[in-house]
Structure 1
Amino acid sequence: MTFLLPLLLVSLASTGIEIALTRYFAVASWSEYGYWVISIVMAGFALSGVATALLRPWLERHSAKLFAVLPALLILSAAFGYAAAIRNPFNPLQLQNPVTIAPQILFIGLYYLELLPFFFLTGLFISLCFVSAPARTTRVYAFDLCGAGLGALLVLGLMAVLHPFKLIPALLLPLAAMAFFVPRGPHRLGAILAAGLCLIAAEALLIAGDVADYNQFKPIFAPLHTPNATIRQQILSPRGVYTLLDDFTERVDTDLSNDSAMMHLPGPPRTLGLYRDGSRIAAVPRTAKLDVGYAPGTLAAAPYELLNHPRVLVIGDEGGWAAAQALALGAGSVVADEPEPVLRAALQNQPPQAGVTISGESPLALVSDAKPGAFDLIELSDNFLGADPADATAFTSGAIARYLPALSDQGMISIPVSIRDFPVYALRIMATIRAGLLAAGVADPGAHVIAYRSAWNVRILIAKSSFDAARIKTVRKFCDDRSFDVSFFPGINVAALRDDIYNDLPAISFSKGEVESGASADDSIADEAVAVMQGKTTDSAREFDLRPATLDRPMFYDILRLDHLGTILKRLEILPQQELGPLINIAVLAQAFVVALIVLLLPLAAPRRIGSKRAPIGRALLYFPALGLGYLFIEIALIGEASLYLDDVTTAFALVLSGMLIFSGLGSMAATQLRLRAAWIVILALLIVTLAALPAVMLATIGWPMPLRLIVLLILLAPLSLALGMPFPMGLGEAGKVSAGFLPWAWALNGAFSVIATPLANLIATELGFHWLILAAIGLYGLAWISFPRTKVAAA
């Protein structure tokens, strides 16, 4: 079993390169396009299993030469694939244009041609390891999984010191190291020399020929190319590439009244722009003095007209501006909660503001720890939702229900919503607010809500005690003085307000693709807000998915109704970037089904290659796909739940991915037939406990210090992952008893349905929630239990 250490290295490198490629797409393009990488990886593994099953005799005869030559081939395929990918002229904006879509489809196919060879060769190496030791599948699988887990940890560590565009050159080194473990003999020296020469050539190609850059549509592209623009600082982190940019376009990003000049208010001052992966997340002050004279003209100022020197919790401090605005508007004290670590570090480097306390907890953890009535105002800042993917949980019904106990009796919550892309985002957050108030025991949610807006943004106030006539009058006067519009308040008469609309907001028919505007000004939010707050179906709900966002399904930008896919495809050109994720998943899912069919049918066309007369084909067709789907369903569900718990997608991804892989590898090493029987019971029992108790346990302990929360997650991951590591290698062991060709086909089946699992799991989580993924995994592992491909046939 001399190939075990090379197997560890190739699994380490391939997992690292997979993550590095997803980071490349996130920085150069959009993170949604990283789904292609996962599809390419698993497709390569699946197709390599098919090739091994069909060509097994030839591969076995030449296995010694293949183990010697594959390190060099892996280096070259990884380097040339990445070099070609960064030169691929794919442009996502043109993908949404019916006139230019055709060449973009070809460029997507080109990504597959460029990147698939490396992952095919990786899968071929792993398949050869299984074929070479059919009686030791548990050990082979253990090294494969442990290597993948270590690769995930390695690349996350490298992200702290290397730009994502530089990761792959570093990850070629483990591939070259494989050659040193080729068994002593005639091929070893040649393998080492070939790998060394290929490494030198590959590094020269990637370092000297590096042309990776931001795509021209990325928000950072234009300001980065303005005259005299300079990069003040760049911070590398697993969370992203942070760029502090100094250019003349940077301002505080807030929505000011059109009447600000008449109110003698200054405009927002110049700032530095902080970008993560090319997307702007905050305006950082240029000087120690924060000039917030513009604050009375913002949408966020209204609550301060209703509250006297309130105790304020600002969620997302936006580089210090949100807390400074609150103080300027009359706040008595401010807790500035900034979970984003780079922004929090920027705050801590600024001169302290009197009356401001800085916190780095997640919003849910902070309000869970707060004493009842600790705040008079909980204000979510304008750009908090876009600062980090985990911040979407702060805009869910579960979060709103947890904010209320932390408010004083006259306290309120202030929530921003951008309506630049679709006005229905305001309706969706109102439906979410209604659900949160109902969950908190509020009988009449509409009595506790006021929504007001400019042309581009909406602010929604949620009062712990219902709004009375005096407070409604104060908000309406505030809006009249600033030419803002009130879209909803208790007792609103929408028809009576039509003559006094300052900012026309006509209804947009997504299905017709036209603006439905009348002779007079409209407020399409006001037209439907009353019905939304009453829980009734509206015209927009028939075109968009306006179900409340929940802690189990926190995706805020998720309003496309996938049952209207034909209409969506006709309107591609007007879809905002954040709504493209489900569509890309559907495209990847369609490709995955093609790969699965190839894996299923090609070996059956050559039945002698897989020993089909003696093989439990029917059971294998259930068992291995069920494991491929079930394992990834669990992984994606736990990453989603852990992101809420840790308030950090990157840490959640690293802990769950590497933890599950390493613990599953250890479980595989310990797998026996006797232990497998117990593993089925443990798997199903732990999944049922996870489904029933995980959300409650996480919410009950979300205020604990981060180290304790990490321990809680590891306590959950370790026993479940150990048990999950047993079924697959034991199934492969049974397959190896039938025929050495049946084993790689079984490996390919698992890989093919893993291709399907990732986009399918993302769609299920988006449409139904994480708990449905765990529920589906329970069914899949139950199916695998009863379809275990047991055989007593001796090896061919």
Structure 2
Amino acid sequence: MRFWPLFLVSAAAVGMETALTRYFAVANWSDYGYWVISIVMVGFALSGVVLALGQGRLQRHAAGLFATLPALLCLSAALGYAGVIVNPFNPLALQNPDTYAPQLGLIALYYVALLPFFFLTGLYVSLCFATNATRVGAVYAADLLGAGLGSVLVLGLMYLVSPFALIPYLLPLLALAALGAGRLRKRAGAAALVALLAGEALLGLGPQAAISQYKPIYPPLHTPGAKVLATVHSPRGEYMLLDDFTERVNTDISNNSGMMGYPSPPRSYGLYRDGIRIASLPMPGVGAQTGYALGALDALPYTLRPHPDTLLIGASGGMRIAETRALGAGPLTALEPDPVLYQALREGLDGSPPVPSAPDLRIFNDNPRAVVTPGAGYDVIDISADFLDEAPANVYAVSAQAFAADLAALSYNGVLSVPVSIQDFPAYALRMMATMREALILRGVADPGAHLILYRSAWNARLLASPAPFTAADIAAAAKWCNDRSFDISYYQGFDAVAARSNLYNDLPAVSFTDGTMDTQGDDDSLADEAPGVLAGQVTPSSSAFDLRPVTDDRPAFYAILRLSQLKLLLARLQILPQAEIGALVNLAVLAQAVIIAALVLLVPLAAPRRARQGHEVLRPAVYFSVLALGFLFLELFAIERASLVLDDRAMGFSLVLGAMLVFSGLGSFVSGRIANATAAMRLAWVAVALWGVAMLWLSGTAALAAGGLPLVLRVGLIVLCLAPVSFAMGLPFPLGLRQLRGEFFLPWAWGLNGAFSVVATPFANLLLRTIGLHAVLGGAVLLYTIAALSFPALEGQIAWTPFLKRSAAAD
């Protein structure tokens, strides 16, 4: 209870970090949320450096600082958020070599706006360590438990208010911390109240956050007569249902639809999440207008397998259900994991009617990996075109293991239909083929090429796969169907790409990513040219330029085909890179900055007077606290990815893992203060982490899939139960290490190292996941904790330096 003010400050700080991350996801793009993590940890690192180099001056004035900081935190939080709101950063200009320079200055302004708050927060936390050096376990416990509360609090608020309105709810926590200022409580409370009122007034009356004009929702939202019919607040995202004359059913239609008597897609409502369109919802009376579906790119499977028993993965707000019924689907099972879209299917959503019930229609909101079972006997499994981009966790539905499970759930000659956009890079279709090839191999298929058909329009492609080889009759029917609708076949076994050029409807020339030149011989189909090589596992022009390795459960990022080793080339082609690929470059930029900062923090002892170091060994603490920060974040990222697979929801997975790990780590830190033998306790913590890591390496994938079909409450409980023991163990090493240090220099320096290397950990772990796989992240965490155990500061029995407040009182 002594440290409840620290508890509140930590809760507000993590809440602000989460709220700012959500701000960037809605106002700009989620990838730029990495800056927030960087700014937070840079602030913490700088606070440790300042305190370490201050040689005890700040510690001697700790009572006054504890009374002043809550008011300063309130003001800096409000001013920082206002500064973020008015920043005119343009993400599109950042990708243009001719206009990116001013954007770098605007990014720097984000740091200027937010760094003061997180520096002051770090100063508050490090002062708590400095003035309670004999109780570092309790201090760290209050810090972690408060952070856990902050993550849970913001998660709950996301159900109630807009992401733009989260931060005003956090300022009172900072103001309340002033009541813990001891004999200065009244003065501190009055200052904090004034700061709170000023901050709330600024956020309420000052500049207001809005969706960037560069987000897809902005143009339709600002057309005449546009109306927002519904807004749904959720940790998954901010949903908006838009009624606008430009909104139509989003499907790829044949150029020959009019000649064949098919109508155009009807008007619809547009459902947007975080400003990005994810589905078309039917307008009243429009659900029956489905004649256009006969001319859609995704209709071919229903011609090859008439009246099929169908599994539809992603219902697109109900439009795909109506379309597949119009195409003659027999018994239909539809999966819609997104809770808002599922509600729209079942109950309607503010004007959009629900899907009419039918005896042969079943609708579930389950994870596809939990519903698809071997031997189900579906004739068609159809993945909707917008499903992959509907939610981040849906990427697990297009891994090689997921496709293998889908194939096992088909009848012998059933068809799995998988969409892929080729609008940005046709290479995405080749990566999908490589992934499906791997899935067929996992199913024991010796000749994957005989089981595949690839066809396309100018913008999208569909890959059809079957447990049985496609017959000559199947291929002939597919060729006629495509020819009638001006679609092009790009692959089937025996396909003659050269001969097909004489009757090509949609030109798709090969464009060199290396030099930007177009290699054309008249009408071209670059997919047809490279598909045989991809299926044979050979090097092709695209595989040389892009990473076309199969998507797997261990390496689940589908939009990750850029070769980061070619950084100079990527920067030269920055203007044409898809938005989904930008996150990797942001990670690289943050990592480069983080490495420089971490190196500077490591070198701080060189700037400190020899007397401040008190003869203390520097190398072991430097290694110890650096690898601890890396290891904790590595293991956290691994747990978030696995929880996202279990919950089929990355936002919930992130919040649950973060909250559970912080709470149980806090309990471990609290217990650390009662442990006499710190070295033995550190070794036990390392053993616990190592054993847990080995178990997760072998079991986590299988366990995650097995748990996917359980009720949500049980899945949440299992995740918490799995994280509790390892998180408890991970809460021990940091306070145990701090107990081994002496002097007013080393304790804040260790805190600074923890912050600096936490900045390094997040982008580094994300890049490892992208390029090598999740097993590398988990293995790296175990290796880092092993290094920590070997470098544990060997000063057992020596108590850290005397708290300055007590020393000053004794002197008086």
Q: Select the residue among 525, 542, 545 that pairs with 1:543.
A: 545
Counterpart of 1:450 in 2: which secondary structure? strand
User: 1:240 is aligned with what amino acid?
Assistant: G
- Give SS of 2:603's match: helix
SS across alignment from 2:249:
coil
The 5 A counterparts of 1:355-366 are 355-366=360-371
Does 2:206 align with 1:209? yes
- From 476, 479, 487, the counterpart of 2:479: 476
Counterparts of 1:300-319 in structure 2, within 5 Å, are: 300-319=298-317
Instruction: Give the match for residue 809 of structure 2.
Output: none
User: Conserved in 2, the CA contact under 8 Å of 1:603 and 1:610?
Assistant: no
Q: SS where residue 744 of structure 2 aligns?
A: coil
Alignment of 1:350-749 (within 5 A): 350-354=354-358, 355-368=360-373, 372-518=375-521, 520-608=522-610, 610-611=612-613, 613-671=614-672, 672=675, 673=678, 674-735=680-741, 738-749=742-753
1:478–1:7 Cα change, 3 Å: same
Match of 2:505, SS state, is: coil
- What displacement does 1:83 show? 0.4
Q: Give the C-alpha shift of residue 777 in structure 1.
A: 0.7
Within the candidate set 765, 768, 772, 1:764 is matched to 768
Name the SS for the 2:246 alignment partner.
coil
Match of 2:223 in 1: 226
Shift of residue 615, structure 1, vs aligned partner: 1.5
Q: Offset at 1:622?
A: 1.0
Shift of 1:492: 1.0
Which residue does the alignment assign to 1:70? 69
Tell me: CA distance 1:587–1:490, structure 2 relative to 1, closer, same or farther (3 Å): same
- CA 295–794 in structure 1, closer or farther in 2 if over 3 Å, else same: closer
| RMSD of aligned Cα (Å) | 1.2
Match of 2:268 in 1: 271
- Shift of residue 644, structure 1, vs aligned partner: 1.2
* Cross-structure match for 1:296: 294
Which amino acid in structure 1 is aligned with residue 366 of structure 2? Answer: E
Among 255, 258, 274, which residue is 1:261 paired with? 258
- Verify: 1:83 aligned to 2:86, yes or no: no
Gaps in structure 1 of 5+ consecutive residues: none
Tell me the residue number matched to 1:332: 330
Residues 470-521 of structure 1: CA deviation (Å, up to 9, x unaligned): 1110000000000100000011111111111110000111111232222x20
Counterpart in 1 of 2:176?
177
Give the distance between the partners of 2:511 and 2:777, measured in 1 at CA: 34
**CA drift at 1:420:** 0.7
Counterpart of 2:805 in structure 1 is: none
Instruction: Report SS of the residue matched to 1:386.
Output: coil
Task: Give the direction of change, closer, same or farther, for the CA distance of 1:289–1:222 in structure 2 (3 Å limit).
Answer: closer
1:104 aligned partner = 103
Partner residue, 2:794: 790
Q: Check conservation: 2:682, 2:789, Cα contact below 8 A.
A: no
Q: How far apart are residue 109 of structure 1 and its match?
A: 0.8
Q: Name the amino acid aligned to 2:426.
A: P
Instruction: Read off the aligned partner of 2:9 and give its amino acid letter.
Output: V
SS at match of 1:262: coil
Letter in 1 for 2:193: G
CA distance in 1, matches of 2:88, 2:604: 34
Using a 3 Å threshold, how does the CA distance of structure 1 residues 795 and 696 change in structure 2: closer, same or farther? closer
What is the identity, as a one-letter code, of the residue corresponding to 1:251? Answer: R
- Report the equivalent of 1:773: 777
> Normalising by structure 1, what TM-score?
0.97
Letter in 2 for 1:572: L
Alignment of 1:129-140 (within 5 A): 129-140=128-139
Task: State how far apart, in whole Å, the 1-side matches of 2:245 and 2:156 are.
Answer: 35
Matches of 2:681 and 2:104, distance apart in 1: 48
Q: Is the 8 A contact 1:288 1:351 kept in 2?
A: no
**Cα deviation digits, residues 24-54 of structure 1 (max 9, x gap):** 0000000000000000000100110011111
Q: 1:96 to 1:609 in 2, by over 3 A?
A: farther
Quote the Cα distance in structure 2 between the aligned partners of 1:795 and 1:269: 72
* 1:794 Cα offset (Å): 5.7
Task: Check the 8 A contact 1:732/1:747 in 2, yes or no.
Answer: no
User: Which deviations, in whole Å up to 9, do the C-alpha atoms of 1:407-437 show, x marking residues without a partner?
Assistant: 1111110001111111111001000100111
Q: Which moved more, 1:278-287 or 1:711-720?
A: 711-720
Residues in 1 aligned to 2:170 and 2:721: alpha-carbon distance in whole angstroms: 31
Shift of residue 678, structure 1, vs aligned partner: 2.0
When residues 609 and 68 of structure 1 are mapped into structure 2, their CA distance, relative to the original with a 3 A threshold, is farther
Cα separation, 2, equivalents of 1:326 and 1:248: 25
TM-fit CA distance, 1:98: 1.1
Name the amino acid aligned to 2:405: R
Report SS of the residue matched to 1:384. coil
Who is 2:807 aligned against?
Answer: none
Contact kept, 8 Å, 1:479 with 1:486, in 2: the verdict is yes
TM-score by length of 2: 0.96
Q: Structure 1 residues 293 and 353, CA, compared in 2 at 3 Å: closer, same or farther?
A: farther
Shift of 1:681: 1.3
Q: Write out per-residue CA displacement over residues 595-645 of structure 1, whole angstroms, 9 at most, x where no aligned residue.
A: 11221123321134641x422211012101110000000001110111112
Cα distance between partner residues in 2 of 1:51 and 1:36: 22
Q: Find the aligned partners of 1:535 and 1:268 in 2 and give their Cα distance.
A: 40
Cα distance in 2 between the residues matched to 1:45 and 1:747: 8
Q: In structure 2, what is the equivalent of residue 284 of structure 1?
A: 281
Q: Give the Å deviation of 1:523.
A: 0.3
| Counterpart Cα distance in 2 of 1:373 and 1:721 | 39
Who is 2:17 aligned against?
18
Alignment-mate amino acid for residue 619 of structure 1: R
Identity %: 53
SS state of the match for residue 709, structure 1? helix
Larger CA deviation: 49-58 vs 337-346: 49-58
Is the 8 Å Cα contact of residues 487 and 526 (structure 1) preserved in structure 2? Answer: yes
Is the deviation greater in 667-676 or in 303-312? 667-676
Q: Measure the CA separation in 2 of the matches of 1:75 and 1:375.
A: 58
Q: Deviations over 1:415-473 (max 9, x none)?
A: 01111111111001000100111111111111100000000000110011110111110
Task: For residue 299 of structure 1, report the CA deviation from its aligned partner.
Answer: 1.1
